[in-house]
Homo-oligomer: A and B are copies of this chain.
Amino acid sequence: MTTLDQLKAAKAACPALLRATTEQKNQALSAMADALLHHEADILLANQKDVAAARGTVSEVMIDRLRLDPSRIDGMVEGIRQVAALPDPVGRVLETVERPNGLRIEKTAVPMGVVAIVYESRPNVTSDAAALALKSGNVCVLRGGKEAFATANAITNALREGLAAAGLPQDCVSMIQDTSRDSVNVLMKAVGLVDLLIPRGGPGLIHACVQNALVPCIQTGTGICHLYVDESADQDMALNIIENAKASRPSVCNAAEVLLVHRKIAAEFLPKLRFRLERDRVRRGLQPVELRCDRRAAAVLDGMVAGPRDFDTEFLDYILAVAVVDSVDAAIDHIAAHSTGHSEAIITESEENARLFTSLVDSAAVYVNASTRFTDGGEFGLGCEMGISTQKLHARGPMGLRELTSYKYIIRGNGQIR
């Protein structure tokens, strides 16, 4: 089938899914989980082929992301069962208005319709995204990376078998068969067939979608996250938060990339920081963090001097850009100029500066005295996550089930005219 034919089949599956009860959707999720386990051997075999084909063409980190084993499949199965256990976001009456003329208006949560997810090579995204979409009443069209195609296809086939066993259309979940760029273009332009496009991947993919999509699109992921250490900060707390935010998992979007330090504490704090992130980490057997300093920080540290792009780069690596600023306002201004709107943190003991920072920094998540690494659906108590929105329209920050719904107004009358 062409991509367009696949999208038409997906759209055609929407009414049946709209009619499904919460119980039917949960039964389908359970059957999908069972089918994944049942087809574990097929999936692992497909994955071995993908890994063998990818070896030598992509990095070892990518190979590790791509590789499945029985415990990772168990994780996927467990993920589906967890989604089944979450409350159904569809059909909730968000507001009720009774008008003087007798009209009763109910603002009611409804699915988006067809949600298309473009992602790279992590196989678990296939089952996570399918489960979240199904629970929120959305038909899901998956367009995965070509390195993981055999694996994702085997997973999708198992999920579709589960759907059929539960009496729902198999086309509630489908995998786009064309792995060329053409299919992404078709998804971006499919007005009337794709109700929401979610690109999950590198900045190139996300930029291409935002620039070219004619269908509604939610921008996810890119995180140039900032930490600001205020003059009044508890400096030990600051060191803990900085090391955690930068180095606990540098490859993720909620890792910090830029540190701003108040000028009044720079001479005292920056040497402690360098010790903690360099020598002390080596002593603990950990990879040290390279500091790229602006002129003022370099004057204190003799650190490597930052290049022209270092304050606008998502390093996703053991690298931290460091600048000295004159005030909390200067920190806020720097963030306004360089942030991607994901997560930023202030470390301060000043209530007033915390208030300024949280009210003026225009990002999805703004922290006081905590690590940016908490920006995550699970950590926020949403139970699951389809990605992290860095835009302001519709959903911002971690997107769980509710963020995959829209609403409509249902109005009941007895002949009212205006």
A65 to chain B, nearest CB (A): 20
Docked complex: A398-418 residues within 8 A CB-CB of B = 406-418
Q: Give the number of copies in the complex.
A: 2
A71: interface (CB < 8 Å):
no
Residues of B within 8 A of A374 (CB): 103, 411, 416, 418
Q: Give Cα A380–Cα B96 distance, bound, in whole angstroms.
A: 10
- Asked if A368 and B418 make an inter-chain contact with CB atoms under 8 angstroms apart, the answer reads no
Residues of B within 8 A of A181 (CB): none
- Asked if A412 and B380 make an inter-chain contact with CB atoms under 8 angstroms apart, the answer reads no
Residues of B within 8 A of A411 (CB): 365-368, 370, 374
- Asked if B381 and A105 make an inter-chain contact with CB atoms under 8 angstroms apart, the answer reads yes
Chain A to chain B: the 9 pairs with minimum beta-carbon distance, closest first: A370-B413, A244-B417, A392-B406, A394-B394, A373-B418, A237-B415, A216-B393, A370-B416, A365-B409
Q: Give Cα A196–Cα B103 distance, bound, in whole angstroms.
A: 32
Cβ contacts A354-372/B at 8 Å (1 or 0 each): 1000111011111111110
Q: Give Cα A355–Cα B327 distance, bound, in whole angstroms.
A: 59
A93: interface (CB < 8 Å):
no
Residues of B within 8 A of A369 (CB): 412-416
Residues of B within 8 A of A241 (CB): 415, 417
Q: Give Cα A263–Cα B162 distance, bound, in whole angstroms.
A: 40
- Asked if A408 and B379 make an inter-chain contact with CB atoms under 8 angstroms apart, the answer reads no
Q: Give Cα A266–Cα B354 distance, bound, in whole angstroms.
A: 68
A344 to chain B, nearest CB (A): 10
Closest residue on chain B to residue A361 by CB atoms: B408
Q: Give Cα A375–Cα B368 distance, bound, in whole angstroms.
A: 42
- Asked if B244 and A418 make an inter-chain contact with CB atoms under 8 angstroms apart, the answer reads yes
Cβ contacts A137-153/B at 8 Å (1 or 0 each): 00000000000000000
- Asked if A394 and B396 make an inter-chain contact with CB atoms under 8 angstroms apart, the answer reads no
- Asked if B417 and A373 make an inter-chain contact with CB atoms under 8 angstroms apart, the answer reads yes
- Asked if A407 and B415 make an inter-chain contact with CB atoms under 8 angstroms apart, the answer reads no
Q: Which of A110, A366, A370 has the most CB of B within 10 A?
A: A370
Pairs A–B under 8 Å by Cβ, sample size 23: A19-B359, A103-B379, A105-B381, A216-B393, A241-B415, A244-B418, A365-B409, A366-B411, A368-B412, A369-B413, A369-B414, A370-B412, A370-B417, A371-B416, A371-B417, A371-B418, A374-B418, A375-B409, A379-B418, A392-B406, A393-B406, A394-B394, A396-B407
Q: Give Cα A110–Cα B397 distance, bound, in whole angstroms.
A: 13
Contact flag A211-B214 (CB < 8 Å), given A240-B415, A370-B103: yes
Q: Give Cα A105–Cα B376 distance, bound, in whole angstroms.
A: 12
A283: interface (CB < 8 Å):
no
Cβ contacts A318-360/B at 8 Å (1 or 0 each): 0000000000000000000000000000000000001000111
Q: Give Cα A241–Cα B415 distance, bound, in whole angstroms.
A: 7
Q: Give Cα A195–Cα B394 distance, bound, in whole angstroms.
A: 12
Closest residue on chain B to residue A243 by CB atoms: B417
- Asked if A417 and B216 make an inter-chain contact with CB atoms under 8 angstroms apart, the answer reads no
A234 to chain B, nearest CB (A): 7
Residues of B within 8 A of A371 (CB): 416-418
A308 to chain B, nearest CB (A): 19
A358 to chain B, nearest CB (A): 5
Docked complex: A148-196 residues within 8 A CB-CB of B = 195-196
Extra pairs beyond A195-B392, A243-B417, A396-B406 (20, CB < 8 Å): A19-B359, A105-B380, A112-B393, A113-B362, A216-B391, A240-B415, A244-B417, A244-B418, A248-B417, A364-B409, A365-B410, A366-B408, A366-B411, A367-B413, A368-B410, A368-B413, A370-B412, A370-B413, A373-B417, A397-B408
A62: interface (CB < 8 Å):
no
Residues of B within 8 A of A9 (CB): none
